[in-house]
């Protein structure tokens, strides 16, 4: 290999390894920032990993060295157990639905869904009976369970949609105020009020209590309105932005170094 080409190849490798060092540094910095802010090792991995799938292995080892312990990606496991204060898809409540069916048995399960005072599923006798047959099969049969999930999906997603629309509706004029115990009071245009607790995802309104929303993992418009006020997404986004800013400044530093290297190369040649 001619000398000049060899030199260029070496320089290229050096530059590559330098920028990888930069990325490593940035990730390690982000991981220890998150630790300082009180995030657990698996939360740190989730936050950094969600932001950057390409460097996932690097992120994992950076988090492990920042926390001094092994950490396993928990994304898949979490989906089953995680409870969502404001669910936005049937997937997020499917586990709660299945638990209810197994705990109550098919008859009580269907009564809770379709025969309460503010039912999630306002259905007639004929549909009720066919849902009941399917729910009875679903208890011991996975295929029927999947079919049941498929049939319930539209009712639950409609309920989620209605709550979100009602929370935003100017007609309802829902106003939310926080109370001293970390909970919320939601008031509507008629002055009626209800108590919302975001930690447990509960509300004292009749729609929530009589419709058994809590047991099925659903949220009423008051929970949606309160959650909007202190969105966890907002907090998460803020954390990610801070991490990105740190990464950007370190990357800039590395780029400057490479530029300097470049200019030296030009001077020498």
Cα(30)–Cα(243) distance, integer angstroms: 6
Closest contact distance (angstroms) between CB of 161 and Zn ion is 16
Closest contact distance (angstroms) between CB of 206 and Zn ion is 8
Q: If DSSP states are collapsed to H, E and C, what string results for 114-180?
A: HCCCCCCCCCCHHHHHHHHHHHHHHCCCHHHHHHHHHHHHHHHHHHHHHHHHHHHCCCCCCEEEECC
Residue with tokens 């990888």: 20
Closest contact distance (angstroms) between CB of 80 and Zn ion is 26
**Closer of 110 and 198 to Zn ion (Cβ):** 198
Find, among 150, 132, 154, the residue nearest to 142 by Cα. Answer: 150
Q: Which residues contact 134 (CB under 8 A, 6 or more apart)?
A: 144, 147, 148, 151
Closest contact distance (angstroms) between CB of 215 and Zn ion is 15
**Closer of 85 and 203 to Zn ion (Cβ):** 203
**Closer of 112 and 207 to Zn ion (Cβ):** 207
Positions in the binding site for Zn ion (CB under 5 A): 203, 205, 208, 220, 222
Closest contact distance (angstroms) between CB of 112 and Zn ion is 18
**Closer of 31 and 176 to Zn ion (Cβ):** 176
Closest contact distance (angstroms) between CB of 135 and Zn ion is 27
- Token representation of residue 179: 């109370």
Contact indicator for 82, 111 with CB cutoff of 8 Å? no
Residue with tokens 């030296």: 264
Cα(92)–Cα(95) distance, integer angstroms: 7
**Closer of 26 and 203 to Zn ion (Cβ):** 203
**Closer of 56 and 161 to Zn ion (Cβ):** 161
């Amino acid at each position: 290999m001619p000398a000049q080409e060899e030199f260029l190849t070496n320089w290229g490798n050096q530059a590559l390894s330098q920028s990888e060092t930069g990325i490593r540094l940035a990730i390690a910095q982000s991981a220890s920032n998150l630790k300082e802010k009180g995030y657990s090792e698996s939360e740190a991995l989730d936050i950094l990993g969600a932001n950057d799938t390409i460097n996932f292995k690097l992120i994992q080892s950076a988090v492990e060295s920042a926390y001094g312990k092994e950490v396993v990606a928990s994304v898949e496991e979490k989906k089953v157990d995680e409870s969502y204060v404001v669910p936005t898809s049937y997937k997020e409540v499917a586990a709660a639905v299945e638990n209810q069916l197994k705990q109550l048995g098919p008859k009580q399960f269907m009564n809770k869904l379709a025969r309460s005072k503010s039912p999630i599923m306002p259905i007639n006798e004929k549909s009720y009976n066919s849902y009941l047959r399917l729910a009875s099969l679903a208890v011991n049969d996975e295929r029927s369970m999947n079919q049941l999930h498929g049939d319930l999906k539209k009712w639950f997603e409609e309920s989620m949609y209605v709550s979100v629309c009602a929370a935003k509706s100017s007609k309802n004029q829902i106003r939310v105020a926080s109370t001293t115990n970390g909970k919320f009071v939601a008031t509507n245009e008629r002055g009626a009020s209800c108590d919302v607790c975001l930690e447990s995802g509960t509300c004292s309104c009749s729609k929530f209590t009589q419709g058994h929303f809590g047991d099925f993992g659903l949220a009423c418009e008051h929970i949606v309105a309160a959650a909007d006020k202190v969105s966890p997404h907002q907090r998460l986004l803020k954390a990610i932005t801070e991490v990105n800013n740190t990464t950007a400044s370190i990357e800039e530093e590395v780029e400057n170094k490479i530029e300097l290297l470049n200019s030296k190369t030009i001077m020498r040649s």
